[in-house]
């Protein structure tokens, strides 16, 4: 093992007292009692250096893989106020007389190792911090991750940009879209992050982002969830102990958007996750609808997917979603195959619909089907009875057959009824130009021209039918001459 500066993990020549890379004294010595002593080797593979982050649930170190020389990041399970260690001893110690603290640490260590499992499930997503492995030693647990060069979004906005150079609305929207795109892929694995905040979004030197710290994450419907309530970013359902879903992460993204625009974390009213409006002078009317849909207290009114919110933001700045350049060729090939299958399916369905519609139209034209409004202004299909002549013709219908004097009207079949009422029939009014013959004529009858406005029903209907009045030009009948004896 060579000589390393424990502050930056650069290998230095023997005897150097100040690191030429970071100007830190060699050897670096930690003064925090929570830290693992610099120079500790884990699993004969990872050399631990300076602590670069401390939180309520753990400590993060810069380290190096002695087998490959690669700089890595190591997270240690270390509950603040629940455990301690001797300055020269890397083992985490727990109070022997505090059973509650020991049980709490044991439970959290199990959750900590589950974070490693979830990160491994997400290792093919480039915008999620990469996890190499998990190790249990020193009476605690460690997660070995890739080392990221850059800064988190909180430091970028507060320190690098500051009040004099705040992010523009478009910049804020683009950052938010990037976060949502990563979150959409995470959600497809049925994993909730549950701790989306500016300090858990890492901005690399090339401007891309990485989602980090899945310590609070859980599988959807994965059982009881312990709340990691970060003020300003935790959704109401987490604060109230209600059911969480993808919409919970989206609430936190809405709060991050607020931070990017205003430069301060959003304040929650009444301690139940309802965000206060931006301070005076910070108005963004074009984002009002999107912001309140993302952070609505009622989860049913909130965005239900990260993609849905990202699409609205893209539409706002006039951008279209582009295919991710980070997907592998194999993944793109699968997507193309799926797209082709989907296209074939759509074409097949459309063809089937067209054939069915053509059949219905032809059938309707044959049987007299029509579409009419009912009394409720709803359009319904009405099937009229099949007739032997055209109904409501625009020109008179002329019969070429020689009828007998008795005129038989076409039979109309009325809609079926469960009861047979006594028919009520109105006798048609007939206007004639000659006396009506009472005897059966034997002479040839002149073919009448009949103009009908509606068919005359003489057959007994199965329901009450009122026969419309018919004005006819009755045939002129010449009575037979009286023979002379």
| Residues that are catalytic | 195
Which of 222, 188, 219, 190 lies closest to 307 in space, CA to CA?
188
Residues sharing a CB contact under 8 Å with residue 287, sequence separation 6 or more, in sequence order: 169, 173, 257, 261, 316
Is residue 443 reached through a cis peptide bond, with omega within 30 degrees of 0 on the bond before it? Answer: no
**Around 17, how many Cα atoms within 13 Å sit in the side-chain half-sphere?**
0
Residue with tokens 């067209």: 354
Which of 124, 109, 117, 38 lies closest to 76 in space, CA to CA?
109
CA-to-CA dists, residue 144 to 130, 205, 307, angstroms: 9, 21, 30
- Report the distance separating Cα 298 and Cα 268, nearest Å: 15
Per-residue b or e along 380-414, where b marks 16 or more CB atoms closer than 10 Å to that residue's CB:
eeeeeeeeeeeeeeeeeeeeeeeeeeebeeeebee
**Which element (helix H / strand E) includes 363?**
helix 329-367
Classified as helix, coil or strand, 318 is: coil
Tokens of 3: 């000589």
- Report the distance separating Cα 296 and Cα 19, nearest Å: 51
- Report the distance separating Cα 129 and Cα 145, nearest Å: 7
- Report the distance separating Cα 405 and Cα 273, nearest Å: 91
- Report the distance separating Cα 147 and Cα 170, nearest Å: 29
- Report the distance separating Cα 176 and Cα 287, nearest Å: 12
Tell me the DSSP string of 179-228: HHHHHHHHHHTTEE-----GGGEEEETTS-EEE---TT-EETT-S-----
* For helices 246-262 and 169-188, angle between their N-to-C axes, nearest 10 degrees: 160
**Around 480, how many Cα atoms within 13 Å sit in the side-chain half-sphere?**
10
Query: Is residue 195 within 8 Å of residue 217, measured between CB atoms?
Result: yes
């Amino acid at each position: 093992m060579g000589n390393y500066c424990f502050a930056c993990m650069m290998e230095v020549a023997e005897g150097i007292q100040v690191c030429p890379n970071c100007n830190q004294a060699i050897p670096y010595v930690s003064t925090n009692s929570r830290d693992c002593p610099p120079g500790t080797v884990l699993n004969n593979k990872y050399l631990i250096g300076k602590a670069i982050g401390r939180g309520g649930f753990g400590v993060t170190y810069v380290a190096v893989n002695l087998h490959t020389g690669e700089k890595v990041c190591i997270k240690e399970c270390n509950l603040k106020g629940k455990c301690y260690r001797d300055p020269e001893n890397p083992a985490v110690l727990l109070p022997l007389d505090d059973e509650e603290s020991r049980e709490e640490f044991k439970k959290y260590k199990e959750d900590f190792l589950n974070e490693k499992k979830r990160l491994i499930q997400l290792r093919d997503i480039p915008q999620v911090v990469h996890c190499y492995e998990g190790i249990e030693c020193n009476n605690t647990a460690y997660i070995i991750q890739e080392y990221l060069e850059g800064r988190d979004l909180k430091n970028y906005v507060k320190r690098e940009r500051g009040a004099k150079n705040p992010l523009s609305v478009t910049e804020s929207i683009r950052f938010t879209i990037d976060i949502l795109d990563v979150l959409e892929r995470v959600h497809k694995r049925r994993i909730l992050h549950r701790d989306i905040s500016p300090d858990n979004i890492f901005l690399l030197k090339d401007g891309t982002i990485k989602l980090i710290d899945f310590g609070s994450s859980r599988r959807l419907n994965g059982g009881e969830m312990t709340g990691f309530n970060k003020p300003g970013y935790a959704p109401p359902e987490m604060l109230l102990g209600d059911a969480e879903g993808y919409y919970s992460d989206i609430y936190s993204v809405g709060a991050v958007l607020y931070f990017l625009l205003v430069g301060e974390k959003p304040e929650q009213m009444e301690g139940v996750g309802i965000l206060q409006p931006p301070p005076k002078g910070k108005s963004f009317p074009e984002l009002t609808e999107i912001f309140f849909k993302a952070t609505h207290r009622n989860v049913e009114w909130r965005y239900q997917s990260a993609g849905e919110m990202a699409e609205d933001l893209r539409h706002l700045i006039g951008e279209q979603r582009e295919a991710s350049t980070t997907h592998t060729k194999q993944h793109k090939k699968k997507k193309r195959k799926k797209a082709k299958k989907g296209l074939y399916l759509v074409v097949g369905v459309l063809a089937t619909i067209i054939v069915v519609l053509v059949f219905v139209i032809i059938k309707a034209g044959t049987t007299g089907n029509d579409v009419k409004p009912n009394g409720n202004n709803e359009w319904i299909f009405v099937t009229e009875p099949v007739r032997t002549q055209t109904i409501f013709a625009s020109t008179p219908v002329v019969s070429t057959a020689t009828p007998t004097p008795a005129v038989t009207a076409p039979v109309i079949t009325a809609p079926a009824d469960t009861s047979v009422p006594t028919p009520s029939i109105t006798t048609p009014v007939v206007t004639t130009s000659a006396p009506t013959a009472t005897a059966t004529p034997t002479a040839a009858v002149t073919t009448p021209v009949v103009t009908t406005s509606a068919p005359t029903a003489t057959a007994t209907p199965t329901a009450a039918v009122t026969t419309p009045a018919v004005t006819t030009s009755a045939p002129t009948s010449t009575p037979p001459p009286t023979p002379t004896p």
